[in-house]
Structures are given as C-alpha cells and as structure tokens.
Amino acid sequence: MRPLSSAPYTLFDKVWRSHVIREVGDGVCLLHIDRHLIHDLEAGPRLNDLRLAGYTVARPDLTYATPDHAISSAPDRTSDTTPTSTRLLRDMRRGTSRTGIRMFDMGSPEQGIVHVVGPEQGLTLPGSLIVCGDSHTCTHGGFGALAFGIGSSEVGHVLATQTLRQRKPKTMRLCFEGQLGQYVTSKDIILYAIGQLGTAAGRGYAVEYAGSAVRALPLDARLTLCNLSIEMGAKIGMVAPDENVYRYLLGRHFAPQGALFDKAVSNWQTLHTDEGAAFDAEHIIDATLIAPQVTWGTSPQDVIAVDGLVPDPTQEPDPLRRQAMYDSLAYMGLRPGQPLQGTPVDWVFIGSCANSRISDLREAATVARGRRVAPGVKAWVVPGSEQVRQQAESEGLHLQLLEAGFEWRSPSCSMCLAANGETVPSTQRCVSTSNRNFVGRQGPGSRTHLASPAMAAAAAIAGQIVDVRALTPVKGSGT
C-alpha cells in the first residue's frame, strides 16, 4: 500500500493510492481488492471455469455471494421457479460450498440484492475497494468506498488472485448546492444531472458527489445517488463518509468490532478531498431548481420535470441525438410537446438496487396510505433484502401497501431486468424506481418511465403519471 505525501489529494486518489500493489505502466495499476461480491448470474459459471482451469479461490474469506438476479420475487417462491434459475442457484451453491465462500442463500436473513446486502451487513466500508460482476457496483461509493463493476473474465481474475489490473480514471466533482424541494430525492437530482450533462459525461471519470444538498442526504439516498453513476457513463461514484456512516456501521456483522472499529473510524475520518486538490472536471448544479423527474424516452438522459413537456427532436442540433430522440418517441408511444402528466400507466415497480431500501418503502407507503391503486394497474413492491423486508413488516409498511392494492414481494432484482419471467408486457407502460429504461429492459416492447418511489406510488394511485406534490392530502397520511 502506497503512503500519501503531503500534497492535496481527492477522496478518490486517497483510496486508489492505498490499494496500488504495483504500477504496471501506461496508467495501469495492479490493485488489491478488499471485497469481491458475486451473484447468481456469475458465481456458478465463474467458479466452475476456475476449477476447470486448475485454479483455486485465493481469498474466499474476502468473497461473498448472494442470489438476486435470477431468483423469483414471488412471496411463495421456491428454488425451482424456472429451469434457468434452478441451474444458476444449484451451481452457485455447489461452487461456494466447494470453495468456502460465504453465501447468503434464499431463506437466510442476509439474502438480498447484492448492492443492498453489502452496506447493511457492514461489508461496504469507507476506503475499501469493492468489485462485483455488475455495473451498479458503484452504489457502494455512497459510503466512501471505491467500487466498480467488472466483466466476467475479471471476476475470474479476482477469484484467482484477489487483484485486478485497472487504468486510473480521471476525476470529476459534481456539486449539488441548495435545499431540495418537497418530494425531490436523490433519484431526482441524479436523473436531472444526467439529463443536463448526458450519459457520456462521466465516461473515463471517477465522480465525487459533493455540495450542501449531498451532505444533507440520508445514507440510503447517497447509495441511490452513486447507483446511477454508471448511467452517466462513470464506473465510479463516491460520497465522502461522515459521522452518519460511522454510526450506521457500528455493530454491523462484518464491520470492525471494538477497538478495531475505533481505529477504523480514525482512518475513515481522513477520507475527504483535501483543500486545494484538483479535479479534471467540475460541475455545479443548483439543487433548488430540481423538481421530481420522470424519463420520457429509452435513455436515462431522456428526462424532464414531471410538469414539463416532452421535447421536440427538431430543436436538437446534433443529428445523432435527434434521431435517437425520434426513435425513443416512437418506441414509447409519445409525441413531441405533450405533457407527461396524465399519461396512463399499466404497471408500477418499486424495487431494484436503486430504490428498494427501507427509506424507499417508507416513502412509497406514505403516499399509498389511505389510498387505493387505480383499477387496471398492477403495482409491485419488491424489498431489496430480507432485512429490509423484515424491517418494513415490523413497521407495518407492508400492510399499508397491501391495503392500498400493491403486491408485496420477496427480495430479488425482479422486474428491473425482466428476470425469471417477471416482465412488463409489450407496449404496456411502467413507472419504475429502477435505474435503466433501455429498449426491452423490463420485457420485449415494454415502456419504462424512471422515477422516485414517491412518484411511482403516486402513479399507481392515479393510474397515470402524476406530480406527487399535487396529490390531494389524505387525513392522517402526511401527504
């Protein structure tokens, strides 16, 4: 591990430098990996590849597995829901058992979406380097970790060596300044930023989120903020840790304990960008201007305020972007200049690694309380983990949602990526708290509008895209 000199460093530089084993050359470094998270799509195949190649897992004690991508979210799910999920889960169990990797299996209190389980189990620590074969690994940066997704061959390399070769990215600071308005969440501010800057703005950068609006965000919201870094093109998103993070991690299962925790906190308190440290790019966004956001097209940058109008491609000077806008409008069944508000919806999905934590479910339940899902709308709530599900049920959130007509499901990635047959039918429209609205993402021909949990719940109640701020208050609901 490389000691730091007295020069001012960014948060990213401090964590990166502390994990460099060797500089390979041309900006490429060999890095030590602190935590390797694996899920059901990768675990079995990669562990089998490793065995056939004659390698062993270098550090099974630093690797953790959980099924999430392919398993069903049905309340009465079994391990044999589909032939594919059965095979993946079987191979995951065999591979982890053979190699000694800790697995949070179905039915255990630790199971859940990998990017939800990591923080709540204390596996995600400030200053740690975390990788996973999933592009939304950047989520863990919300706790001050350096985390990024890796490809299948890289998963095998980390399993065999606990190291990874990576080219050091440039650095960007994205500051959100000012107080957020009512029902404006971290999901809204990152979608707004992507809409303003584009999906390529973060390409080649590690992004640090800063500013008064970010410092005021609760921990769950910081994870959501970093989760969508990849939708802006950045593999890495980070928020400097603070006392809120330390308090959250105290006593967590895999976090340091006793005197080791105090020692860790002393180190974590140094994890901030030094005064005078230089970034390769900086952007400042006035957070007071941000309203609840909804996407209209098939890219996260196709986003407007809920009270805005669908943009007109003829006003776009770039021909490639203009054609993409035409294609998006055709796929989504929308026309230029129309308001998004009032657009009927068929489905609502509240879940995914972006928005399935306890605060997200509280937000949705607050909107749903005392109301009913509109006729003809199917609305699912999928907790991000068993811990989230149990916490929500202890608070009675599931009863509020069930009474309103939502379906209460089991932890998995579910409809976010149309896994296990959990899809939105062709041409039907879904308001989703997930992170991607690509063509066919939630099922062939499905039409996805990304939004926050409050906005999704409001759409389920209204049966159409609606501004949650305009909902008529229900006595005792808080809205």
SS (H, E, C) the chain: CCCCCCCCCCHHHHHHHCCEEEEEECCEEEEECCEEEEECCCHHHHHHHHHHCCCCCCCHHHEEEECCCCCCCCCCCCCCCCHHHHHHHHHHHHHHHHHCCEECCCCCCCCECHHHHHHHCCCCCCCCEEEECCHHHHHHHHHCCEEEECCHHHHHHHHHHCEEEEECCEEEEEEEECCCCCCCCHHHHHHHHHHHHCCCCCCCEEEEEECHHHHCCCHHHHHHHHHHHHHHCCCEEECCCCHHHHHHHCCCCCCCCCHHHHHHHHHHCCCCCCCCCCCCEEEEEEHHHCCCEEECCCCCCCEEECCCECCCHHHCCCHHHHHHHHHHHHHHCCCCCCECCCCECCEEEECCCCCCCHHHHHHHHHHHCCCCCCCCCEEEECCCEHHHHHHHHHCCHHHHHHHHCCEECCCCCHHHCCHHHCCCCCCCEEEECCCCCCCCCCCCCCEEEECCHHHHHHHHHHCECCCHHHCCCCCCCCC
Mean pLDDT of 445-469: 98
What's the pTM?
Answer: 0.96
pLDDT for residue 472 is more than 80: no
pLDDT range class, residue 102, cuts 50, 70, 90 = very high
Mean pLDDT of 1-30: 88
Q: What is the pLDDT of residue 7?
A: 86
- Look over the chain and give the mean of its residue pLDDT values, rounded to a whole number: 96
The string of pLDDT tens digits covering residues 196-238 is: 999 999 999 999 999 999 999 999 999 999 999 999 999 999 9
The string of pLDDT tens digits covering residues 36-92 is: 999 999 999 999 999 999 999 999 999 999 999 999 999 988 777 888 899 999 999
Q: Which domains does the chain have, with CATH numbers?
A: 11-167+248-265 (3.30.499.10), 170-239+274-289 (3.40.1060.10), 294-470 (3.30.499.10)
The string of pLDDT tens digits covering residues 122-172 is: 999 999 999 999 999 999 999 999 999 999 999 999 999 999 999 999 999
Percent of the chain with pLDDT over 70: 98
